[in-house]
Structure formats: C-alpha cells, structure tokens
Structure 1
Amino acid sequence: MLDERKLEVLRAIVEDYVATQEPVGSKALADRHNLGVSPATIRNDMAVLEEEGYITQPHTSAGRVPTDKGYRLFVDRLTTVKPLSAAERRAIQTFLDGAVDLDDVVNRTVRLLAQLTQQVAIVQYPSLTRSTVRHIELLHLPANRILMVVITNTGRVEQRTVEVTDQVDDDLLANLRSRLNSTLVGKRLTEAPQLIAKVPEQFPPEERGAIAGVLSTLLDALVEHQDERFALGGTANLARFGQDFKHSIRPVLEALEEQVVLLKLLGEATDTTQLTVRIGHENPYENLSSTSLVAVGYGPKDEVIAKLGVVGPTRMDYPGTMGAVRAVARYVGKIVAGA
C-alpha cells in the first residue's frame, strides 16, 4: 500500500503527462505542484512507484510516465469526476432535445460525446431484449402484402413487409391489430413468443391460416433478430494521438470497425449506472491494449437498456472524460424515457 504522499506524486505525474505528453521529472513536479517536499524526496517516491510498477522510464535520462497499473490506481482513487459547466449542460440539453426520433438521438449523442471528449464515441441502440412494446400497426399494401410496424417504448421502430397468400380483409386486419396491441403493449419483447402463441386462439379456425404469416413475421421481428446496433463517431480524433500508439493506429481503427468488438467492448447492458473504466490491457482485445474505455449504461430512471462510452489512448483526461460520459448518459436516459 502506498502512503498518501506517494499517491499525490502519482496523481501529479498522471496529470502532468496527460497535459504535456512529456515524461515527468522530479524537478518539474516540485515546481508545478505543492507537494511540500524537496525534489530529492520526490525522486525517492518516484523510485518506489517505479519499483511497484505504477510508473516507468521510457528511456535513459528521461522522466517517468504512468503505466496501465498507475492509471488504474489513479482512477480508483478519484474522489470526484470533473463536473460540466452550466453552459455545457445547457448546450447538451438543447442539442439532444432537438432530436426527432431514436436514430437522431443516437447520432446526436455520438457527435456530442466525440466533441466533448475529443475521443471516439460509441453509442449502443436500446436493446430490443430490454424494451417493451408501445404500439403495433398493420397496414394493407398492394399485391397481398401487409406492412407491420412495431414501436418500442424507447422509440425504436421495426418494420417488416408480410406476403400473405390468404386474403386478409380490413375487418380481420383491424381485429388482429387490436388483439395484438391489447396482448403485447407494455410487455417486454422477451415475453412475446408465449403471448403471441395464444393470439390464434382468439380467432375462429377459418381465420387462423390468414393471420399465421403476420404472426410469424412478428415473431421474427421481435425475437429471432434482436440485433445489437451501434453508432460510432469521432474516429478522426485518434489522429491527434498518433504518438500514443506504439506502432500504428491502424489496429485500433480496424478493431473499432468490428461489430462483435464493439459489443464485447461495451459489454451487455446491466442493471447498473456505475461508470466502467477499462485501461490498456484490461480491454478484451489486443488491438485495443493501448486504449482506455469509459462507458456507462443509460435508460429511463434506474433501468439500463443500452450503453454508451468513449475510447481513446490511455493518456486520457479521466476525470473530464468520466464526467462528460456520465452527464450525456443521464440526458439521453431522460430523452429515451419520454420517447
């Protein structure tokens, strides 16, 4: 266990390295920070921090830089994250309040996060498995087709076109629409298979064949293809940190293009609104071992229906990034709740 003075030295090294991008020496720490001890004492503390693996010397006669272990201790010891200013909070609310639908909310959120943090922003669309049905619409189309529209409580819209062989007249379609809404509205999509299976019993036998295709397509939309969708923005921001990636920025960009990587990076949404910070080699992919992730869940009230976050180099302004991610998630959660 490190004493408070050594923790203060580590904090100062992290802050200076993030700000200057230069290895930090003992004299610079003594000049910039009110540590209350001499440069010689700071050098001794730095030697202990290096021996314990919290900092390292990139080359001879250079100052020290934090390691993944050092960043982890710095983050774990943070007592507060950097709050956004009143002007920033108003700007976030105004920008997000202008969204017209879920796609617009997600796209605006990605742009906003990337701009606030100057990192790569990732926003997961609300998971269908955690959503409930708000409304189901059925509309006739030409050539024996039916347009089915499913709207969830988060504003997500799923559309399918159903080819029907048996004639479904307006009265039958209206009856089916009514019964589906009375059965499914307010229910989680994970409950859909059991509930839909009981719908044919509400119709006379001669009409069940005509509605079978509609119900099959509805199941397909709600259950079988509960795809996870993501929006990504701000990848150009990584170019500003090219020197932070030991060999090349290309592996990082390639990893971020993979859907499965994004899913594993954010992880499945859980019932927690606690910030997740994964640093360097804590990330599940080797190509992202030079990056850090700051993520949090969002949703109505205390319910998490998806996650959002940012990815950037380990040399990151953690207090500021954590504050921005948390603030944006809260606003998005309120918007989704009122969708």
Structure 2
Amino acid sequence: MLDERKASILRAVVEEYIQTAQPVGSGHIASAPGVQVSSATVRNEMAALETEGFLAQPHTSAGRIPTEKGYRYFVDALTQPSLDRNASQQVRAFFDQAHGEIEQMLADTTRLLTGLTDYAAVVVGSPHEVATVRSVQLVSLAPSTVLFVAVLGNGAIEKRTIELAADVDEDVLAQAGRAVLGHVSGAPLSAAAAVPPAPDAPVEEVLAAVRSAVASGGHDEIDHVYVNGTSRMAASFEAVETVRSVLTILEQQLVVVTLLRDVVDRGLNVAIGSETGMQPLADCALVVAPYTVDGEQVGTVGVLGPTRMNYPQALAAVAVVGQRLGNRLSEG
C-alpha cells in the first residue's frame, strides 16, 4: 500500500499520461488537484515510486510514465465509475431501439462500445448449440409448410422451414408444438432431434419432420464473436509491429474467445499488459464484463486498448452496456 501522498501523485501521473501520452514531469504534478506540494517533494516521491516499480523513466532527462504495476494500483483504487450524461443517453437510446436478430444486435453493440470508448470492442455470444430453449412455436405458412421457431436462452432465435407430405391443421400443429416444447424446454436445441414419438399419426408426421430439420440444421459449436473499432487500435500505438500483432489476434475468433473467457474466469474485469497472458498484448489493456440472460451467463462484452486507456470511462461503459444487453435479451 502507498501512503496518501504517494497515491495522489501516482494517480495524477497516470491521469496526465492517459491524456497526453507524454512522460510527466514533477512541475506539472505539483499543481495537480489533490497533490499541492512543492516540485522538490514531488520529485522525491516520484523517484521513490520509480524505485518501488510504479513508475518508469524512459529517458534520463524526461519525466516518468506509469508501469503495469502503476496502472494496476490506479485501477484497484478507483471507486465505482459511471458514465456521463451524454453517454448514458446514448446507451439508453440504443437499447430502446434495439430489436431483431441477436446476431445483428450483438454486432451493433460493438459499434456502440467503440463509439463510447474509442477503443476496439468485442462482444462474445455463446454458441447456439449450448444455449437452452426457452420457447418453441410451430407456425403454419401454407397448408403443408410449417415454420419451426425456437427462442434460446441466449436471446437467439432459431428457425427451420419444414415441408410436410400432407396438409396439416392448426390443432395438430399445436399438439406437436406442445410435445416438442415439453421435451426441449431448458435443454439444448439439439434435444429436439430426439423428441419421443407420438401415438397420433398426423402429430407424429410433424414431429418426424421437426426431428429431421433440427438434426440437419448444422448448429454452431463455437462462440459467436463480433469485433468493431480495429482501426482505432492503429491510432493508439506508434509501433507498427505492435499494431500488426494486435490486429492479428483480433482476427482469430478462437483466440479472442479464449482470452476473454480466461480473464473473466480469473475474476478480473481489467487485464493489464502481461495479465492478459499474451505477449503480443504487452502494451494493451482489456476491460471485460459478462452479461447474463435470465440469470445465466451467456456471453462477454469488452474493449481492448492501450495500457494508457481511460480506465474509468472504459469500466463504466463495459459494465453498463453488459447489463443493458443482458436485460434486453432477457426481455426477448
């Protein structure tokens, strides 16, 4: 733990470096809010912070910059950050208007996060194969054509158009729908391929068609990943090689899923530099939050930026968007 003066000086250095990306000198920090001590005292305290590993001096004559340890102390000392009024209105307006297929909503959510933070945004949705079924409907499109609709626990909607050998009436469809729902409610959609036979021949004909349609549906077995704002990353780093490495990682869906899941599983909402577990992200920070639907964690939202990211803003944006996304998907 740092004493109050060292903590206030470190906080001032981090905040200034986040804004300017330039090494911070003692003269500037001496007049920062919450510091109010002489430049000589600041120099001594900054030297001590460097010795303790919270700050680094890139050049002999330059000011100092935060280290990974310094950023971690800064983040851990933050009180619960909140979005400003304008950003809160953006989030509210977005989710008030968000409708339609879950895939489009998740893609649009990444654009919202990028707009709020100016960093690359990632949203991961669970694979439909592991999502449980909330409701099922069989809708007549024509006398012998039926639309099978399943609403999943992750907010996704699965549809299959089924062609029957004979015309079918609404009562038979209703019976078949109840039989399917009774078997798959709370289970993965794939369970519909094993709905028990019905004694009534017309109902069984519909159930057989449902089993076949679901079995041949080609379910996803990997998480759905949506990324936006990669061009913002290029503007965040001076080293071309760093940009190339980061963009390469963002293009690898499985790597992104594994990265976010690992950070969440470790109980972190911020991973800084080496904490990401990936050497190419040594100069990056990742802010993540899981989102839940009906109390079940189904995915993750996050932003990836430089280690000198605006942590209060990023934490607030990710937390609020994750909560609102889960609420919106729970509403159906």
Q: TM-score range by the shorter chain?
A: 0.7 to 0.9
- How far off its partner does 1:209 sit? 9.1
The question of whether the paired residues in 2 share the 8 Å contact of 1:126 and 1:156 is answered with no
* Worse overlay, 293-302 or 147-156: 147-156
Partner of 2:298: 305
- 2:236 equivalent to 1:241: yes
Amino acid corresponding to residue 253 of structure 1 in structure 2: L
Partner of 1:170: 168
The question of whether the paired residues in 2 share the 8 Å contact of 1:95 and 1:108 is answered with no
Using the alignment, how far apart are the partners of 2:233 and 2:206 within structure 1?
55
Using the alignment, how far apart are the partners of 1:269 and 1:49 within structure 2?
28
SS at match of 1:14: helix
- 2:249 equivalent to 1:255: yes
Partner of 1:37: 37
The question of whether the paired residues in 2 share the 8 Å contact of 1:58 and 1:65 is answered with yes
Using the alignment, how far apart are the partners of 2:245 and 2:300 within structure 1?
23
SS at match of 2:99: coil
Partner of 1:330: 323
Amino acid corresponding to residue 137 of structure 1 in structure 2: L
The verdict on how the C-alpha distance between 1:146 and 1:45 changes in structure 2, with shifts beyond 3 A counting, is same
Using the alignment, how far apart are the partners of 2:222 and 2:212 within structure 1?
18
- How far off its partner does 1:211 sit? 5.1
Partner of 1:137: 138
SS at match of 1:299: strand
The verdict on how the C-alpha distance between 1:288 and 1:174 changes in structure 2, with shifts beyond 3 A counting, is same
Partner of 1:89: 88
The verdict on how the C-alpha distance between 1:74 and 1:219 changes in structure 2, with shifts beyond 3 A counting, is farther
Alignment deviations for residues 27-67 of structure 1 (CA, whole Å, 9 cap, x no partner): 11113344143222222222222122221111221111111
Alignment of 1:54-65 (within 5 A): 54-65=54-65
Alignment of 1:1-339 (within 5 A): 1-81=1-81, 83-101=82-100, 102-128=102-128, 129-137=130-138, 148-160=148-160, 167=165, 170=168, 175-185=175-185, 187-189=186-188, 193=191, 197=194, 199-203=195-199, 214-215=210-211, 217-219=213-215, 221=217, 225-243=220-238, 245=239, 247-267=241-261, 276-300=269-293, 302-339=295-332
The verdict on how the C-alpha distance between 1:213 and 1:84 changes in structure 2, with shifts beyond 3 A counting, is same
Using the alignment, how far apart are the partners of 1:178 and 1:241 within structure 2?
54
- How far off its partner does 1:178 sit? 3.4
Amino acid corresponding to residue 266 of structure 1 in structure 2: L
SS at match of 1:32: coil
SS at match of 1:263: helix
Gaps of 5+ in 2: none
Using the alignment, how far apart are the partners of 2:9 and 2:247 within structure 1?
34
* Worse overlay, 286-295 or 202-211: 202-211
The verdict on how the C-alpha distance between 1:302 and 1:15 changes in structure 2, with shifts beyond 3 A counting, is farther
Amino acid corresponding to residue 188 of structure 2 in structure 1: L
Task: Tell me how many residue pairs correspond in the alignment.
Answer: 328
The verdict on how the C-alpha distance between 1:117 and 1:106 changes in structure 2, with shifts beyond 3 A counting, is same
Amino acid corresponding to residue 107 of structure 1 in structure 2: A
Using the alignment, how far apart are the partners of 2:298 and 2:262 within structure 1?
9
The question of whether the paired residues in 1 share the 8 Å contact of 2:263 and 2:271 is answered with no
* Worse overlay, 71-80 or 35-44: 35-44
* Worse overlay, 296-305 or 2-11: 296-305
SS at match of 2:63: coil
Using the alignment, how far apart are the partners of 2:19 and 2:25 within structure 1?
14
CA RMSD of aligned residues (A): 3.3
The verdict on how the C-alpha distance between 1:98 and 1:268 changes in structure 2, with shifts beyond 3 A counting, is farther
Using the alignment, how far apart are the partners of 2:175 and 2:68 within structure 1?
61
Alignment deviations for residues 80-126 of structure 1 (CA, whole Å, 9 cap, x no partner): 31x22334322211122212212332132111110010001111225
Gaps of 5+ in 1: none
SS at match of 1:261: helix
SS at match of 2:11: helix
